[in-house]
Homo-oligomer: A and B are copies of this chain.
Amino acid sequence: MTLEAAIQRDREDLLASTRQLFDLPGDIIYLNGNSLGPLAKAVKYRLKEVLERQWGEDLISSWNRHGWIDLPLSVGKKIAPLIGARPDEVLCCDSVSVNLFKLLCCALNRERSRQPGGKVNILTQQENFPTDLYIAQGFSELMGDTGVELVVAAESDLKRQLQEVSGIVLLTQVNFRTGKLLDIECMTNLAHEQGSLVIWDLSHSAGVLPLALSDWQVDYAVGCGYKYLNGGPGAPAFLYVNQTSQQAIKQPLQGWMGHKAPFIFSPSYDPAAGIRQLQCGTPDILSMSALDAALDCFAEVAVADLRSKSLALAETFLVSLWSNQIPNSFSLISPVSPAERGAQLSFSHVSAHAISQALAEQGVITDFRSPDVLRLGFSPLFLSFQQCWKAGNLVARTIIEKLYLNSRFELQNRVT
């Protein structure tokens, strides 16, 4: 492959035009959409509208006039096709962490109604994103030793554990460090065979991976609004509850916005039907409007095309990188096989932080993850093949220079 080939791929790219939807500085190559998606132009216009006309002029009446009150459901409906869910199975609200807690409570209540009195296991992976582990730990401690037992398994041992432990399974599809994928369908089936309920964290999946939550009969899921969905820093998250599981929603974060009729102000909680009852407090309109507008970038796009472009971008990067003489110490920790990873590539190197900084100075924005991981996200909506080709070469050159300088520095230290 050559630069010319990359340019040719851009010409043939079905998604080439979606880059125009974003306000990205022209001189940078943004390989960090997996951490913070960039600003879509529509978001900028929408926020101006929400601020100046809706809030500024129409004030309180906007809750109805501009559909603020419906945003958690209407944003959920826009996310649904991206994760293979039915429109009434997704709700936009709160953060991933808070939503995980709600769904753990829902799952526990269902487990308890099946087997009253027994201890309930929560099986999760050691390599899970920390917040998932912390929330599971917090939940277990709150419920006490007699209520819940947390079983933390190594990723490599998960399949075996799924066939042995029954209870609640809490897993993340894409490993945030390595990008390694878990097979949702297979693992959900294994869990269901044991009578377990599953909660999937799709933070690094939604917007780049083909998902079919309803068909796979996934019980519960959560996901992030600010990564590949480009909703803005700290954007509201989403949660999914399978239609059949919606009959038995029961969790303690039952705020007034989850009430059947919040504006009756009844002193007793009476949940809304379906997913709406998982709302808690007043929805955050500024940031939910931003996410709503950002999701319109997906309107004309097939998830399968997002997936294939994302993998092709990563492949272009790798070919370009490896066309240089890269030292072995800079090693790919993501699966080599594209089918086994998400939309990111991760490398480990002892100087990963310095490399990331040096790349930023050259306009290539990557992510450092402590202690030694360089993470690169291949968001298909706004990256070009030419950029990924160029990035491969720039990363190679930077590593070589860094290592050269470092070794010279070490040599100098030894000499003096």
Contacts and interface: CB of A to CB of B under 8 A. Distances in A.
B98 A98 contact: yes
Contact of A282 (B56, B95, B254): B95
Contacts of A133: 267-269
A333 interface: no
B259 A138 contact: no
A379 to B, nearest CB: 12
B97 A255 contact: yes
A215 interface: no
A268 B150 CA distance: 13
Contacts of A98: 94, 98, 253, 255, 280-281
A236 B59 CA distance: 18
Contact of A137 (B32, B236, B254): B254
A161 to B, nearest CB: 16
A281 B287 CA distance: 15
B369 A265 contact: yes
Given A98-B94, A267-B133, A370-B265, A138 B281 contact: no
Interface stretch (A60-68, A311-319, A395-403): A60-68
Contacts of A235: 284, 286
How many copies the complex holds: the figure is 2
Contacts of A36: 55, 59-60
Interface in A271-295: 280-288, 290
A129 B128 CA distance: 38
Interface string A45-58: 00110011001110
Given A138-B269, A285-B232, A288-B234, A39 B51 contact: yes
Given A98-B280, A265-B369, A266-B130, A52 B39 contact: yes
A135 interface: yes
A68 B280 contact: no
A287 to B, nearest CB: 5
A370 B97 contact: no
Contacts of A255: 95, 97-98, 131, 134-135
Contacts of A393: none
Interface residues of A, number: 87
Interface in A130-178: 130-131, 133-135, 137-139, 141-142, 152, 176-177
Contacts of A286: 47, 232-235, 286-287, 290
A264 B60 CA distance: 43
B97 A138 contact: no
A282 B130 CA distance: 12
Contacts of A284: 95, 233-236, 284, 287
Interface string A73-113: 00000000000000000000011111001000100000000
B97 A256 contact: yes
A139 B252 contact: yes
Nearest to A58: B25
A283 B97 CA distance: 11
Contacts of A219: none
A41 to B, nearest CB: 10
13 contacts: A23-B56, A36-B59, A39-B55, A44-B51, A44-B52, A97-B256, A97-B281, A128-B267, A131-B255, A138-B269, A235-B284, A235-B286, A286-B286
